[in-house]
Amino acid sequence: MWVERTAGEREQWNKIAVREARSHGLVIGGMVWVVLSLMLAGGWVASAQFAVVAESGGSGSFWKRLPIVAIVILPLCWWISRREGKRKLHSAIHRTICPKCETAAEGNAGLSCDCGGSFMPQSTVKWSDEPKPDPAEDSISRLGVDKAKSEEFIRTLAAADIWVLAVGLRGVPVIQDLKDPAAWDVIAEHHIDVSQVGDDDSIHPFNYERDGRQVFPFFSSENFANHFLRNCGVANISLFKPYRLMSGFVATPENDLFELVLNPKSSSERTIEQTERLLLRLLTKPKE
């Protein structure tokens, strides 16, 4: 199945794509350089543009003309190499795939496919033969699966940091609802890396619809967050990154419209009950 690349893997992909595009450009530029030099020096091409060059060798021998011609056309070949490299990189970046039916295409990321899936940049997904095993347990995820330890679970959670998936936004653009495609346009336009969020910027946490309810996923570790990123199958989720917060954030009244789910897409998935939410809110309330 196709899974999301992690931020680190995407960075790696970019590095390789840039390197490959550059060497592709150099090969093409080099070939043009060699062939054109030989042809011009040999007088096999008498185009108006290069006639001067070829002529400048005068009656001299092929071997005399060759180095001159080679130097004169070098800038042109360098330009061709750069252009070819850019073209190659551009097409690599815009290559897409529908993870559902594996149709490959170009330049249509985010558009929906005939099969009902949606196209994603190939740079953000990779083929994985088997689902990754669950991340290592931690004290919170372990307590979460034990329904008998509800209170201990919430008390431990209240004292801990959690991870959400967030996108940084330049300024404070209004985002209504992630179900609305227009919201994604706003995100695409304003998004910045969560590590670069300044005082005038905002953070938008990820939520999604599941079985008719709007779920706010949060995680007990960065590994659980990355595990979800890889396995949730939501288009464009790659804009979001794990972001560390105090656990009280998820229990604030602003998030009452969401169902709070800890570590979704793992075997430690745990929905927070209403009483648990209120206890967490109480325990994490700022002291007055």
Q: What would the two tokens of residue 214 be?
A: 């709007």
Size of the site for Zn ion (CB under 5 A): 7
- Select from 51, 115, 246, 257 the one that contacts Zn ion (CB under 5 A): 115
Instruction: Tokens 């400048």: give the residue.
Output: 56
Q: Does 1 bind Zn ion (CB under 5 A)?
A: no
3-state secondary structure of 219: strand
Which residue stretch of 30-38, 106-114, 173-181, 213-221 sits at the interface with Zn ion (rule: CB under 5 A)?
Answer: 106-114
Which residue stretch of 5-13, 90-98, 239-247, 264-272 sits at the interface with Zn ion (rule: CB under 5 A)?
Answer: 90-98
- Nearest approach in angstroms of CB 187 to Zn ion is 23
- Nearest approach in angstroms of CB 115 to Zn ion is 3
- Select from 93, 97, 113, 164 the one that contacts Zn ion (CB under 5 A): 113
Q: Does 111 bind Zn ion (CB under 5 A)?
A: no
In contact, 140 and 153? CB cutoff 8 Å: yes
DSSP conformational letter for 196:
G
Q: Which of 151, 161, 160 is nearest to 273 (CA)?
A: 151
Which residue stretch of 5-13, 100-108, 126-134, 146-154 sits at the interface with Zn ion (rule: CB under 5 A)?
Answer: 100-108
Query: How far is residue 15 from each of residues 91, 105, 181, 209, measured CA to CA in Å?
Result: 15, 22, 31, 34
- Amino acid 19 reads R
- Nearest approach in angstroms of CB 116 to Zn ion is 7
Q: What would the two tokens of residue 72 be?
A: 């004169």
Nearer to Zn ion, 22 or 94 (CB): 94
In contact, 162 and 242? CB cutoff 8 Å: no
In contact, 265 and 229? CB cutoff 8 Å: no
Q: Does 101 bind Zn ion (CB under 5 A)?
A: yes
> Is residue 19 exposed (0-12), middle (13-18) or buried (19+ Cβ within 10 Å)?
exposed
Which residue stretch of 115-123, 142-150, 225-233, 239-247 sits at the interface with Zn ion (rule: CB under 5 A)?
Answer: 115-123
Q: Does 51 bind Zn ion (CB under 5 A)?
A: no
Nearer to Zn ion, 82 or 100 (CB): 100
Which residue stretch of 4-12, 66-74, 102-110, 148-156 sits at the interface with Zn ion (rule: CB under 5 A)?
Answer: 102-110
Nearer to Zn ion, 34 or 101 (CB): 101
| DSSP letter string, 101-166 | T--EEES-TTPBPTTS-B-EEGGGEEE-SSPPPPPPP-HHHHHHH-GGGHHHHHHHHHTSEEEEEE
Nearer to Zn ion, 102 or 177 (CB): 102
Nearer to Zn ion, 80 or 113 (CB): 113
Q: Which of residues 216-245 bind Zn ion (CB under 5 A)?
A: none
Q: Does 105 bind Zn ion (CB under 5 A)?
A: no
- Select from 10, 24, 82, 100 the one that contacts Zn ion (CB under 5 A): 100
Q: Does 188 bind Zn ion (CB under 5 A)?
A: no
Q: Which of 278, 275, 272 is nearest to 253 (CA)?
A: 278
Strand-pairing partners, residue 165, are 242
> Applying CB under 5 A, which residues contact Zn ion?
98, 100-101, 103, 113, 115, 117
